[in-house]
Amino acid sequence: MQQRPAGKAHGGLWEFPGGKVEPAETLEFALLREIEEELAIRLEQAALAPLSFAAVEGQPHVVLLYTCRQWYGTLACQEGGEAGWFTADQLDGLAMPPLDRPLARAVQNVLNGRI
């Protein structure tokens, strides 16, 4: 998870890292690029698996959540704020933007063996 920088929308809240898909990018390539840009780690593309999504009716975007169990490098937030690894139980105590809460529940279900 990464903490949004102060002064931005949802500043100080914890969110799943990611970003926008650039023209001609696949979803997976955009994810690899964004995670490396934001957190300084490289994900193993073959280890990516879609998990869940979140959207708000009337909003023009959808948030897609992937799992990845193989990566390289050391987690370091590159865009201000903090970054950290959290257990399933710790996710409940994090202040998050509204779209991240259902995604956190999906992660908790996987980590707790319910999916």
| pLDDT tens profile 88-111 | 999 999 999 999 999 999 999 998
pLDDT at 56: 84
pLDDT at 59: 84
Between residues 9 and 39, which one has the greater pLDDT?
39
Q: Domains in the chain, start-ordered, CATH in brackets? A: 2-100 (3.90.79.10)
Is 7's pLDDT higher than 90?
Answer: no
Q: Is 23 left (phi over 0), alpha (psi -120 to 50) or beta?
A: beta
What are the tens digits of pLDDT across the range 50-84? 999 999 888 888 899 999 999 999 999 998 789 99
Read off the tokens for 24.
């001609």
pLDDT at 113: 87
pLDDT at 79: 80
Round to whole Å and give the CA distance between 77 and 36. Answer: 10
